Structures are given as structure tokens and as C-alpha cells.
Amino acid sequence: MNNRTCAVLLLAAVLAAGCAITQTVKPVTVAGITDLCIKRNSRVMMSSFLPELTSQIEKKGIHTTVYDGERPASCKYSLDYTANWHWDLAMYLVFAEINVYDSGLLVGQATYDAHAGGGRPDKFGPTADKLRGLLDQLFARS
Amino acid sequence: MTPATYMVSQDTKSALAKYQGAKLMFADLSGPAAFDPMCRAVGKISVADGMTIGQFVAKGFNDELKFAGLYAADRVKLTGTVTKAAFSSSAAVVNGYWDLAITLQSINGQSMSVESHHDFEAGFIGASACNNTSRALGPAVQQLVQKTVNDPRFAALIR
């Protein structure tokens, strides 16, 4: 392999790696979740995020209850989340993380990270669609 | 930096099932003596709730014990040391790894040492690669815990 080929391959690798949107999902490992308590995150500025999250989970047949502060003792299964958006001519979801717990132990996690995806057009699009992709995988086994 | 979190494993729960009846917990592990938490020029690797690596490894063991129903807070049966914690966020340009090693001691006098190597996809851009490296500590500790409880010597520690 000559130097020019090496340079082209390296540039291609750099460009590909530099335009990545990563979605990492570790599906919930416990089955039979029927009730889920969701901890409200007041630092998530998009007010429609929590209603969308609860709505999509409810559509999976899981009853949700939103709480603030400490997890109520009656909540065996709980969920917390965070989400951030960036502006690039339009708002787009740049990071989201959803954690599911069984009695306080982390049993499932979904992460969407577009921090390195600045050059990709698919960074745009409804947050609801991106959330659906995460939740479908997160609750695939439960 | 996105902090590392520990997720319990069904495989580890299954591996611990044969110890039903045992009740134990891990005290925080000491060490490592040398650990550089700086990732490139981006910042320090971060662990949830500001835990040290030793506290995070102990949490991993204790979470698995709780998940398997073997945890008892009033028992301190195992102590230990993290003898190695090292990472790369740029192996083969876009990959990374965590190397972890521990030595565990039981109050019954038995001890064992375990090493674990965990590879992951880091990415090219610094901030993203270091976030992924920080997050990968969770799966790395999960792998270490699983390797430990699957080791035949582990049974001798909890007798």
C-alpha cells in the first residue's frame, strides 16, 4: 500500500468517525414490568419530552407514574432520563440517556449521542422518533 | 465527561445462583496506587457520584450480590485492592480498552487475584472518545465482576 492510498484511507476513517451518531442500548434484563415510576428531571428544558416519554412507554403496556425527589418505596421499577438539544439552524436532539432500575439497581440503559454527528443531516428530525428507536430496543425483552 | 454507571447482569446473577444461602458484602476496595484519570486533553474520566475506582468496583460486586439476593449489609466478608486500572481512548485510532486487576481477601484467609481486559469502540473526536471511555468503565467492571464470580477460586472466598 503506497503513501497516497494510506492517506486516503486514513482521511476516510477520520471523516467517517467524525460524523458519527451513536446509539447504545443495553436492553432491560428483567421481564414482566407492568408499572414504572419515572423521576422528573427538571433540568430537561424541553417540556414536551416527559409527556412523550410516558406516552411511548404507556403504549408498551407499562403503567407509568411520575415522581420528584427520592424514589417512593412502592416503586420497584423506576426510570430516570436526561436529554439535551443543540441549535444548528434548527433544534435537534444531541444527547439522551434513559436508565431503568430494579429496586435501585441499574438493569437497562439507552443512550443517544449526536455530539460527533454535526455533519450528518439525520441529526435533525423529531425527538419523538429518536426516542421511539431507543425505547423499542430498551424494552424489547421486557 | 459522562460518568460511568454500573449495570447488573443476568449472567452474573446466574453464576451467583449456586451460592444461595451465602450472605456477604464487599468493603470498598483500596487503590490503585497509580491511576491517571486524564483522557487526552479533554478531562478526567468520571465515575457516578464521585466514586473512586475502588468504590466503583465494590459497588459492582455489591449490586450483583443484591440482584442475586446474597447481599447482607451487616457482613463484611471481602476486602481487596485494585492493583491495576488503565485505559486507552485511542488504540488503533478509534478503539479503546480498559485493563483492570484486583486482589480480593476473605476474612477466612483465602485470597485471589483477577485481571480483565475490556475493548470498546471509542471514536475519533476527543470529547466523544473520552465520554465513551468514561462510560466503558461500567461494562469493564461488569466483565471483571463476572470473571471473578465464575472463577472456581471464588467459592473458597465466601465459605
Q: How many CB pairs under 8 A join A and B?
A: 51
Q: Who among B7, B10, B128 is closest to A106 (CB)? A: B7
Contact B67 A108 (CB under 8 A): no
The ipTM assigned to this model is 0.85
Return residues 93-152 of B near A (CB < 8 Å): 93-94, 123-125, 127-128, 131-132, 135
Q: Who among B6, B123, B128 is closest to A106 (CB)? A: B6
Q: A10: pLDDT confidence band, cut at 50, 70 and 90?
A: low
Distance from CA of B109 to the nearest CA of A (A): 30
Is residue A93 within 8 A of residue A83, CB to CB? The reply is: yes
Q: How crowded is the C-beta side of A29, counted as CA atoms within 13 Å?
A: 17
pLDDT in tens, A46-64: 999 999 999 999 999 999 9
Contact B8 A107 (CB under 8 A): yes
> DSSP alpha helices (H): ranges in B2-158?
10-16, 53-67, 126-150, 154-157
| Nearest by Cα to B67 from A80, A72, A106, A35 | A106
Is residue B52 within 8 A of residue B2, CB to CB? The reply is: no
pLDDT in tens, B82-118: 999 999 887 776 789 999 999 999 989 999 999 999 9
Contact A113 B7 (CB under 8 A): no
**Which residues of chain A does B66 touch, with a Cβ-Cβ cutoff of 8 Å?**
103, 105
| Nearest by Cα to B103 from B78, B138, B135 | B78
> Which of A106, A112, A142 to mutate to probe the B interface, most B CBs <10 Å?
A106
pLDDT in tens, B135-152: 999 999 999 999 999 999
pTM equals 0.86
Structure-block grid coordinates of residue B25: 458484602
Pairwise CA distance, residues A54 & A112, whole Å: 18
Contact A13 B124 (CB under 8 A): yes
Pairwise CA distance, residues B153 & B104, whole Å: 11
